[in-house]
Structure 1
Amino acid sequence: MFGLEFVVVLGITVVACGAASGRLRVAAPVLLLAAGLLLGFVPVLREVELPSEVMLLLFLPPLLYWESLTTSLRQIRRDFRSVMLNSTVLVVATAGAVAVTAHWLGMPWGPAWVLGAAVAPTDATAVAALAKSLPRRTMTMLRAESLINDGTALVVYGIAVAVTVGELNLSFAAVSGRFLLSYLGGAAAGALVAWLGVLVRRRIDDPVLGNVAALVIPFTAYLLAEFMEASGVLAVVVCGLIMSQVSIRRSSPTARIQGAAFWTIATFVLNSALFVLVGIQAQDAVRSLDAGELAVSLWRALVVTGVVVAARFAFFFTMPYLIRLLDRRPEQRARRVGARPRVLSSLCGFRGAVSIAAALGVPLLLDSGEPFPVRDQIVFTTAVVVVLTVVVQGLMLPGVLRWARLPADADVEAERRLALVTTTEAALGVLDATAERLGTDPDVADRMRRDYEQHLEVLLAEQSEADEEHPARRYDRHDTELRLELLAVKRTAVVRLRDEQRIDDNVLRYMQGRIDIEEIRLTGRDDMPE
């Protein structure tokens, strides 16, 4: 069953959990996962089949692409070393720790490594949904880690599965070749699709068609990388990061506004549905075991969950001190964080869709025709790890966040104010010359100059921009041409601030949205919703 009836049930569940989340003050993913577990008791819903290919192809490309588009590339560059360590060394270390533990609990080495790779990566959608109240730097680090570590984990997973079924002989050359092909091939596929996407978007004037083309981009990047036997996840991430830098200049205001609205709704629905489906699948994993196996399997799953959590805590409380011993540069000292922020980051190791999809993707048979060893236990253990990390750690996060007492994140507001002041000054600097070139009525230009100057005084006095209506909104249609020219100057100024790394990508998108809305209002476009 995956028909209209299930879609309706899924939609009702998403709306109900979203509404209850605010009232109960419980994160929506926790409620959605719990709802999925309860829906698994409905007999007709037990027929729902969720192939791993569906989860990987239908859900991951759009969700990872949007996360990449809205992640701060400047912050990733700044903390690149930490991001890469978290998304490679931590993943391999976690997979190894789980594999050793699972083997100690009686699982053969091959399936033990398959399980370790499945539960090793954090989930980008879970992090985005559960940890959105964290400070910007912490949130960006977690999002960047969860975007990249899927590629590492899936490479380890692919090697473990291939060795277990007999398709690959375990050797240093084979493992190194797989990693290189996965990373380099995935990055190349993502860059190629991004380049083609820019070429296509340049030739499409219709904003609706442009956004349809944008929707195809992440799926194209994923499929191309998979065809090359490289990392589809990494291809989508690289493509999204490139497009986030280019789309600001290449797309129209209407296309950007429509695209942001579409992606916000689409990713919310996909993300919410994914948590419900994971809950249903977790319930199905319980039913796959008989009563005698259930108690033993539950004990093993709890131990593995403890190892997953402990490995992350151990990494965050050892690797930073090792880096401090090796790197004594002053600029590195300024980036150090205390124990409480590290506890918070350690607690945000939520697992999700990638782990479930990897577990479900374990082959049923070996090359010899025999069943894949302990496959049901792999699926069950992975489901338990996902449920416990999302529910238990998700419920603990608000209290730990208060305990951590992190300083207020004032950088965003300061950068927004810098962008507002800079763009207003840029518009003032060219107002007279532009008015003269366009032949604007001198009285109109004078009034506009005075209002811009008053607006600038308000900003420099550090009052909120919301306290002062933008001056350009108080004019009639006959001076539209001048205002559009000034908006173009402001757009150029704010992009330059981003390129100079004086403001964050998210601040650029905020400012670009304000300018886009004003431009659409001025041009009287009728293809935008009210």
Structure 2
Amino acid sequence: MRGAGTVVALVVLATCVATFAGRLRVPAPSLLVLAGLGVALVPGLPTVRVSPEIIATVVLPPLLYASAKEISARDLRAMWRPLAGLALGLVAATAAGVAGLALAITSLSVPMAFVLGAVLASTDPVAVTALGRTLPLPARIQALAQAESLFNDATSLVLFQVAVGLAAGSSTADWAGAGWRFLVLAVGGAGIGAVVAGIVVAVRARAADPILHTVLALVTPYAAYLLAQAVGVSGVTAVVVAGVVLGSTGHKITDARTRLQVGAVYDVVVFLLESVVFALIGLQLPALVRDLPVGSGWWPLQAGALAVALIGIRFIWVRPTVSRAAPTRAYPAWPLTRVLVWAGTRGVMPLAAALAIPLTSQDGRVIADRPLVLVLTTAVVAAMLIVQGFSLAPVVRSSGLAVDPVRIAEKERAARVVLDETALAFLDAVEQDAEAGNATVEGLRRRYAARLDAHTDEARSDTGYDRLQRAIIGVQRAELRRLRREGGIGDGMERRLQHELDRAEAALDR
């Protein structure tokens, strides 16, 4: 009962904070971390401790899945070179750099210093997506930041497993074996994700009930994650691949009413989970600090130094990577580097990894450095979420890369004009029959001509009208996909316009 009350209280707190964040135009994740810290410091309140299993198994899969669905397969193919450099090389360089600094400024042993480096090596997809959701960045840059955070898990997970094995005394450093383990984790996870996505596509293509589609959408990330973990490959990679595949094919296997219902349910789930999990980061820190042994009072300065090192290493690696890669070469190198470096924050996944460090070694010894690693990880994550979160929007605006809202509105308006012109061209070519007579065709023509002139709408409801209206929405969807395929619009604009078409079709059902 106490645990249920804590969850309800967290949901209420997170909802209130997220509401204020929206009104104040500040990033909700950063404000939630601060709110969690403030609540945890209130005297007399019970200590909140979360097991890594709950974070990894319950919270992460749907959040990763929702982030992956926003990434198009075409963008991934275009960005694979810089993406590989960031998801592989940068993770390894960060792990080594953080481990070396930890050895110099903390009392951590060599194995536990490398555990800390592996834990903090990769950016967090949940935090990156949540912080970047409202930023006016070009679609290609935003996609690169999100894709990097989604695909660097396998690298950091392999490094983490090797380091934990050394710390627990259960293995020796086998780097050749680690390379093979990386391939197994990454390729195996991708394979599991593709198989799960294929099964879901086959089932959803034959299902007509929107409730069944909603249940399948909620179950898919958990199925991919748990199946991959059961066979010993990367569950995170499996969820990401399943999300990318289903995000690229979802419009082909569902109708408008189903997409609207599934989208509404998933928006609620993502909002609740994101809100609670960022508040938990702040709530955890004071409790973890109380577990530190005597003589660990320098942890705030140590955490600050590690956060600065993470940003410095990222800058050194990102600068040559993005300036030489074809997808990002056209952007000014320094502003682009500044934005990508500042967007690479840490979040939920490092905390889950740190909590998964075993309590004892292979011979039964207590791993004494575990509390310090937990505190340093949580402090670094909280500090980066707060500092980078509150300052990311000004960094983007001052970089010169921010897309002008007026330009976005004009581009969206131009896309709507193209869709309405497509509807008028279809009406000009449609066959006249008993159901779609001249009056019906003329009524629809007047409607779309009025939309072109003054963005107005009319209401008509007869059988011929509805049939033609559905056919018009069909050709508009095809035109929308053509615009996206040829680069006329980005993913975000395509989703907004697709949502408008879905709403129009759902209105016909009603």
TM interval, shorter chain, is: over 0.9
Amino acid at match of 1:67: S
Name segments (4+ residues, structure 1) moved above 6 Å.
Answer: none
Asked if 1:446 corresponds to 2:418, the answer is no
Q: What SS does the corresponding residue of 2:298 show, helix, strand or coil?
A: helix
2:361 corresponds to: 366
Unaligned runs of 5+ in 2: none
Q: What SS does the corresponding residue of 1:436 show, helix, strand or coil?
A: coil
Q: What SS does the corresponding residue of 2:37 show, helix, strand or coil?
A: helix
Q: In the TM superposition, what is the alpha-carbon distance from 1:6 to its structure 2 partner?
A: 0.8
1:202-221 equivalence runs, <5 A: 202-221=205-224
1:55 corresponds to: 55
CA distance in 1, matches of 2:245, 2:170: 35
- Verify the 8 A CA contact 2:33 2:382 in the aligned structure 1: yes
CA distance in 2, matches of 1:41, 1:218: 35
2:306 corresponds to: 304
Larger mean CA deviation between 199-208 and 477-486 belongs to 477-486
Query: TM-score, normalized by length of structure 2?
Result: 0.92
Structure 1 residues 485-513: Cα deviation after superposition (integer angstroms, max 9, x where no partner) = 22222223323433444433333322221
Match of 2:296 among 294, 311, 314: 294
Structure 1 residues 260-287: Cα deviation after superposition (integer angstroms, max 9, x where no partner) = 1111111011001001111111222111
1:478-493 equivalence runs, <5 A: 478=463, 479-493=465-479
Q: What SS does the corresponding residue of 1:354 show, helix, strand or coil?
A: helix
1:338 corresponds to: 333
Q: In the TM superposition, what is the alpha-carbon distance from 1:249 to its structure 2 partner?
A: 0.6
1:160 corresponds to: 163
Amino acid at match of 2:371: D
Amino acid at match of 2:505: E
Residues paired across the two proteins, number? 505
CA distance in 1, matches of 2:20, 2:184: 45
Q: 1:469 to 1:73 in 2, by over 3 A?
A: farther
Unaligned runs of 5+ in 1: 459-466, 525-530
Match of 1:476 among 461, 464, 482: 461
Asked if 1:314 corresponds to 2:310, the answer is no
Larger mean CA deviation between 443-452 and 360-369 belongs to 443-452
Q: In the TM superposition, what is the alpha-carbon distance from 1:129 to its structure 2 partner?
A: 2.5
CA distance in 1, matches of 2:114, 2:403: 41
- Verify the 8 A CA contact 2:169 2:362 in the aligned structure 1: yes
- Verify the 8 A CA contact 2:73 2:245 in the aligned structure 1: no
- Verify the 8 A CA contact 1:119 1:382 in the aligned structure 2: yes
- Verify the 8 A CA contact 1:190 1:234 in the aligned structure 2: yes
CA distance in 2, matches of 1:420, 1:43: 56
Q: 1:95 to 1:481 in 2, by over 3 A?
A: same
2:125 corresponds to: 124
Q: In the TM superposition, what is the alpha-carbon distance from 1:418 to its structure 2 partner?
A: 5.1
1:507-526 equivalence runs, <5 A: 507-524=493-510
- Verify the 8 A CA contact 2:72 2:248 in the aligned structure 1: no
CA distance in 2, matches of 1:491, 1:313: 41
2:6 corresponds to: 6
Q: 1:221 to 1:236 in 2, by over 3 A?
A: same
1:388 corresponds to: 383
Larger mean CA deviation between 292-301 and 377-386 belongs to 292-301
- Verify the 8 A CA contact 1:434 1:485 in the aligned structure 2: no
Q: What SS does the corresponding residue of 2:344 show, helix, strand or coil?
A: coil
Query: TM-score, normalized by length of structure 1?
Result: 0.89
Q: 1:495 to 1:438 in 2, by over 3 A?
A: farther
Structure 1 residues 366-400: Cα deviation after superposition (integer angstroms, max 9, x where no partner) = 11111124111110110111011011222222332
Q: In the TM superposition, what is the alpha-carbon distance from 1:346 to its structure 2 partner?
A: 1.2
Larger mean CA deviation between 50-59 and 1-10 belongs to 1-10
- Verify the 8 A CA contact 1:438 1:482 in the aligned structure 2: no
Asked if 1:408 corresponds to 2:383, the answer is no
Q: 1:201 to 1:22 in 2, by over 3 A?
A: closer
